[in-house]
Amino acid sequence: MANGRIRARIRRSHLYTFSCLRPNVQESEEGSSLPEGPGFSRVVHCNQPVVHRKRPLKYPNNHISTTKYNALTFLPKALFEQFRRAANIYFLLAAMLSLTSISPFSAVSMIAPLSIVVGLTMAKEAVEDWNRFIQDRKVNHRKVNVHKEGGVFSYKAWQDVRVGDVVKVEKDQFFPADLLLLSSSYDDGICYVETMNLDGETNLKVKRSLEVTLPLDDDATFKDFTGLIKCEDPNPNLYTFVGNLEYDRQIYPLDPSQILLRDSKLRNTAYVYGVVIFTGHDTKVMQNATESPSKRSTVERKMDSIIYILFSVLVLISVISSVGFAVKTRYAMPHQWYLQPYDPSNTLYNPKKPALSGLFHLVTALILYGYLIPISLYVSIEFVKFLQAKFINRDKDMYDEESGTFAEARTSNLNEELGMVDTILSDKTGTLTCNQMDFLKCSIAGTAYGTRTSEVEIAAAKQIAMDLEEQNSDVSGIQPMENHSGLGASEIELETVITSKDEKAHKPAIKGFSFEDNRLMDGKWLQEPNSEQILLFFRILSVCHTAVPEFNEVTGAFTYEAESPDEAAFLVAAREFGFEFCKRTQSSVVVREKYSSWGQPVEREYKILNLLDFTSKRKRMSVIVRDEDGQILLLCKGADSIIFDRLSKNGKGYLDATTKHLNEYGDAGLRTLALAYKKLEESEYSAWNNEFQKAKSSIGGDREGMLERVSDMMEKDLILVGATAVEDKLQPGVPQCIDKLAQAGLKLWVLTGDKMETAINIGFACSLLRQGMKQICISTTNLEESAQDSKEAIKENILMQITNASQMVKLEKDPNAAFALIIDGKSLTYALENDMKQQFLNLAVDCASVICCRVSPKQKALVTRLVKEGTEKTTLAIGDGANDVGMIQEADIGVGISGAEGMQAVMASDFSIAQFRFLEKLLLVHGHWCYKRIAQMICYFFYKNIAFGLTLFYFEAFAGFSGQSIYDDWYSLSFNVILTSLPVISLGVFEQDVSSDVCLEFPALYQQGPKNLFFDWLRIFGWMGNGVYTSIVIFFLNIIIFCDQAFRAGGQTADMSVVGTVMFTSVIWAVNCQIALTMSHFTWIQHALIWGSIAMWYLFLFLYGSFSPTISGDAYQLLVQSLAPAPIFWATTLLVTLACTMPYFAHISFQRYLRPLDHHIIQEIKYYKKDVEDEFMWSREMSKARQKTKIGFTARVEAKMRQLKARLQKKQSGTSYQGPTFRTYVHE
C-alpha cells in the first residue's frame, strides 16, 4: 500500500482528545457494567459460530431480501393487489355468474377479459420484483474470507456468514455484516471506513480496535482465539452501540468507534479482522430498511370511489328493473298470450312466484348493465401508462451523457402522481451536491483574495439580469432618482458579480482548488504588505488538521486522506500556495515550504503537543505545536461565531473587514471558517497541560465536560488571522431546478446524515437558505452539558423550542419574512413521538424551508411518513444511496439517482434519473402531462360508458323489463374493444395542453395537479352528468323520430334492429366527437384514430351484415339495404350528435371567454403568435406564472431588489444608510 510504512507508525488514538480515547484498564473495570433486561440480551461467542446454530443463541442468518414477493406469497399477494380494485371484484363476480343460465352473455366473453387484465398486471409486477431478486442474489453471493479452524481462512458467500464468525475484510470491500473490529493492517488498529451507503457522507471515518486485540493481526493468531461479547439487541440507531468484550479474563467496554457496519466500505487499509455481531436483517442497515410497499396513485384510489358510485347506480337501476320485471311477471304475463306458455318448473318466468323471478332478473340486470363499469378502463390505463413510461424513458432532455443513462420509469403505476406532488424530501450528498469541495476565496489580514465567482453568484447574477429586463419600467423610474442624488453606479449596484466572458477557460485544473488571484500565487504573496500574516495563514492551513498524506507516484504530488472534504481542500490549497504537507509521524507534522525567505524550498517540522478535535458542539479545532525555533503556538480554525468570541482585545484588528468578507462569502453560498492563533509561554503551556492531562485521565461520566472546560481555558485571547471560503460543488443545474420547483409551488425538505453546519451551508448554496432568512435551529446540543438531564426534561425543552418558534412565526407581521427550520437527529427523535409530531409538522409547514440533519435512514422514512400522513398531500422522496431506501419506499413517489453510491436507491425507486436537475422536467412536464391525460381519460371513459349503458336501461323500461338488449351482442362487445378504445388511448398518450417548453416557462401551471383541478368531484360529476344527458338525448330523440315515422318504402315503421343500429351509430358519433372537443393538441395520429374509429363502425357494420343470417341475424345487409339509402338515418345521426355535443361546446366557450384557466390564456397567446409579436406581454405572463416563493434564486433576487429600493429611498431622504447586516452562519 502506498505510504503504508508512514501510516503504520502513526498512533492516531494519541492525537484524538474526545472521540477516540482508548479506555485504560481502570476504566475497563469500572465502566464495564451493561444494563440488563430487554434490549441488552445479545450474547456472541467469538470464533465459535457453531454455538449459534441452536437455541437460545440461534440468530438470523446473513441472507437478505428486499423483494415484495417470494415463490409462496406471489400468487396470493398479487391477486390481493389486483382485487383491491373495486371494478375487478365486480367483474370477478360477474364472471362467476356468467357460468349460470341467467347470464345474458356467454361465460367466455366475461372470463377472458378479466383474465387478460389481471394476468398482464401480475406479469408486470413479477418482472419488477424479479429484478429486485436478482439484485439481492448478487449481494447474498458476494464472497468474504472467513476463519474455518486452526488459523485457516477460506472464502464464503455472505449469506453463509454466521454470528460469531471471524472474518477478514480487504481494502475496498464492503463489510458483510455488523462487525467488532479486532485489528487492522496498521500497528495501532485503526482503519478508514466509508459510510456513504449508510449516512450519505463520502468523507472517511476512522475506526479503531481495542488495544487488547491488537496482537490478533495475522491469520494464525486466531487458532485459539475466543471471547464473549454482551451487547445491545438489534436496533436501527447507526450512531450508538452499547456492549462489552470479555477477553483474557478482563472486561472491556465497547463503543461505536469499534463497530464496522454492514454496507460500509473499507478504504485505504490493507485489511481488517472482525467478529460478526449482527447478521442479515438484524444489521443496523437492514433495521433501517422498510418493506417494499404497494403504492397506488391518488387518482387510482379516487377512481375506486367513482366505481363505488357507479356500482351503486348499477344496483339501483338493476333493482328498479327487477321490481319492474316482477310486477310485469305477476300482473301482465298471464294476459300476454304471445309469450311462452306457463311452465311451473321455470322459475325465471313464474307469475305465481314473482319475487323469485324478480330476484333472478336482478342478477341478469347486474350483468346486462355492466357497461356502466368498464373493464376495458383498466386495460386502457395500463396500456397508456406503459406508453407514457416509454416516453419518459426516451426523453433526450433527461439523458446524462457522462454516465450514458436515460431516465427510467421503473413502475408505470404512478405516472399521474408525478403531476400532483406537494412536498419533495431530498437527500443532500450525491443528490444535491457532488460532495466536492473547492477552495475558492480567502480573507487574510482584512484583505479579500480570490477573483473567481461561485456557482451561486453566477446564477444569481443571471437571474438578476433577467429580472431587471422584466422590470424595466421600475428601473427606469429609479434611474432619474439615482442621477439626481448624485449617486455613483458603484453605490447602487445590486451587489452582484462580474463574471468572465469565457467561463470554460477558468475551469479548475486541480481537484479541490478553484482559487484565482495572482497576488498569492507563485510566491507573489511575499510582495504583499501583510506577508507575515499571509505566511501564518498558510501555516495554519498546512498544520491544523488530522489528515494523513499519501504520495501519488503518477502525479508526483501528495494527496490527502482527511476526515472531511473541507480539510482536504485546505491542504490542497496550502500545497498550491507552496506549503505542502508531506509527512506525519506519531508526534509531528512536516511541511515543505516552497517559498522561504532565502528563496530555497525548506522542510519544517512542527512538534504536535496537543490536538483539540472538532466536534459539532465545539465547532472548532485547535492544535498546539512547537516550531523549530522552540516557540509554542496554538493554531485554531472554526466557525466565526465561536472564534470571534474568543479573540483578545489586541486580536481584533481585522475583525470588521473579515466580518464583511464573511457576510459576502455566506451570501455567495460558500462554506466559511475563521483562522486564529496565539503564542504561548512555556510556563503557561505547562500549567495548562497538567490540568489537561488530569482531565484526560479522569474516571467518571463528566470526563468529556472536564476536557471541554480545560480546552476552553486554552482557546481564548486569540489573534484573528483571516478566513477561508470553500465551495461545495452542487450538481449541475441544482439551484436552477430548485428555483423552478419553488416557482411551481413545491416545497422542498432536505434530510441528510451530515452535521448541521454542512447542511446549512448547502442550504445557502442552493438557495434554500439566504441572508436575511430567520433560522430556527432546534437542537439538544446545549442540553448535553448536563448529564443528569432526564429524557423527559430534554423532551420538554424541545417541545418548548417548537412552541416558541411556532409563536414567533405566527406573530411575524412582515409579509416578506421567511423562516427556515433546522433540526438535528437527536431532537428529531423526540419531535417524531406521537404527542409532539403534530406541533413539529405544523411548525415545519409554516416555514419556507426545512433541513433535518444527522438523521438516520429510519428517521428519514419516519419524517416522510409524517409529512405524507400529516398533510394528506402527495410526497416525493429522492436520494441516491442505500440510506435513502427507507424514505424512497415510504413516500408516495420514490425517485432514485443512479449515481456513485450503487444501485440500492434505484432498485427501490419508482422512477430513476441520473441528475437531480432532471426532476424539473420529470415533474413540470411529464408529471403535468400525465396527470391531465389520465384525469381526462378516466372522466371521458366514465362519460362514454354512462352514455352507452343507460340507453340499455331506458330500453328496458320500454320493453317491459324483459332483459332484452336493444343492441346486437357484437355491437356491445365491439364498443369498448374496437370502436372507442383507440381515441381514448390517443388522449392518454399524446394530449398536451401546452408544449414542454411552455410548461417550464410557466411553472405555475403545475399547480393544476396538486390542486386536483381536473379530477375533483365537481368535474367528475360534471362528466357523469354529461353522460346522463347524452344517453337521454340519444335514446329519446331516436325513439321520438322512429316511433311513428315510416321508415321503409312500404310505409312500415322501423324495427328494433334498425332503431338499435341507428341509436348505436349516434353513440359512436357523439362520444368520438366529444373526445375531439376535449383534446387541445392534434397530430395526424389523433385524427386517424378518432375519425378512423367512426369509419371502423361503418366498415364493421358492412362486414358483419355481409355474413349469413345465421351469424349476423337481424343485422344481415342492414347497412346496405336499409340504413344507407335512408336520408333519415344520416339526418338523425347528425341531429343527435349536434344535440349531444352542444352543451359541452357552450361550456368550454363560456369558460374560455369569462373564466379562463392559465393554459387557456397561454393557448390563445400561442395561437395568435403574441409570444413572438409582443415579447413584453409574454414576459409579463411568465412573471405571473410563478408561485410566490421564499426560497430559490427568485426569492433571493426579490430580497436584493427590496434592499436596493430601501437604500435608494433612504439616500433620497438624506439619511445615512447602513446596509443590512446579517449574522453569517459559518461552519466546518
Q: Let me know if 395 is exposed, middle or buried by CB neighbors in 10 A (0-12, 13-18, 19+).
A: middle
90 phi/psi in degrees, rounded to 5? -60, -45
CA dihedral 399, 404, 407, 410 (to 10 degrees): 170
- For the record, the C-alpha cell of 1051 comes out as 310505409
Name the active-site residue from 427, 892, 993, 1158. 427
Contact 785/876 with Cβ under 8 angstroms?
A: no
- How many whole angstroms separate alpha carbon 604 and alpha carbon 625? 12
CA 836 vs CA 19, 802, 1144, 1201: distances in Å: 32, 9, 50, 39
Contact 330/351 with Cβ under 8 angstroms?
A: yes
User: Length of the chain in residues, anyone?
Assistant: 1228
Measuring CA to CA, which residue among 233, 230, 231 is closest to residue 39?
233
Crossing angle (nearest 10°) for helices 1017-1043 and 928-958:
40
1016 is catalytic: no
User: What DSSP assignment string belongs to 65-103?
Assistant: ---S--TTTHHHHHHHHHTTSHHHHHHHHHHHHTTSTT-
Measuring CA to CA, which residue among 240, 191, 244 is closest to residue 214?
191
- DSSP structural state of residue 993: S
Neighbours of 592 (CB within 10 A): 17
Helices (H), 627-781: 640-644, 655-667, 682-697, 703-714, 734-743, 756-765
Strand order in the sheet with 166-170: 152-157, 143-149, 166-170, 271-278, 178-184, 259-260
- How many whole angstroms separate alpha carbon 781 and alpha carbon 787? 12
Q: What is the 3-state secondary structure (H, E, C) of 477-525?
A: HHHHHHHHHCCCHHHHCCCCCCCCCCHHHHCCCECCECCCCCCCHHHHH
Location of C-alpha cell 365537481: 1018
- DSSP structural state of residue 287: H
> Between β-strands 747-751 and 421-426, what pairing exists: parallel, antiparallel or unpaired?
parallel
- How many whole angstroms separate alpha carbon 200 and alpha carbon 884? 8
Please calculate the CA angle 208-214-219 and round it to the nearest 5 degrees: 115
609 phi/psi in degrees, rounded to 5? -95, -45
- How many whole angstroms separate alpha carbon 770 and alpha carbon 495? 14
Which residues are CB-contacts of 1026 (< 8 A; sequence separation ≥ 6)? 943, 1074, 1143, 1144
- How many whole angstroms separate alpha carbon 395 and alpha carbon 1000? 15
- Report, as residue numbers or ranges, the catalytic residues: 427
